Amino acid sequence: MNRFEQELKNNNLVCSECLKCNKIVWPPSDYCNKCFGDVTWRKISRNATLVEYSCKNGDCFCIAELEGQIRVIGTIQDKSDLKIGQSLILERCDYDGNEKFIFRAKRND
């Protein structure tokens, strides 16, 4: 497992961030894809937005956007009354040979 996969396994979603221009580099890479600066690891906020979704056998999968730019396909646990643009929380991430991103709807309470 590489660092990204190890972090996922520990329920941490991380990406690369450029030390020179501060750009978030997703998926993680060795250098910044804007200025080729060196990068460091940094945690990604778990607040997300629902971009699109569909379902298979009653289980829903979605594109969720984190920090306004990082998009991943994950599972939505609470699938009732989904609306595009609604807030989600990255409930859990994991790695078992595949990257797993599990979201739930963010409630106002």
Residues that bind another protein in the complex, under the rule CB under 8 A: 4, 26-28, 51-56, 61, 63, 70-75, 84, 98-101
CB of 57 to another protein, least distance (A): 8
Question: Strand, helix or coil at 107?
Answer: coil
Cα–Cα distance list, 60 to 26, 57, 82 (Å)? 24, 8, 10
Radius of gyration of the chain (CA): 15
CB of 109 to another protein, least distance (A): 28
Residue 9 or 100 having the CB closest to another protein: 100
Residue 98 or 108 having the CB closest to another protein: 98
Residue 2 phi/psi, 5-degree rounding, is -85, 180
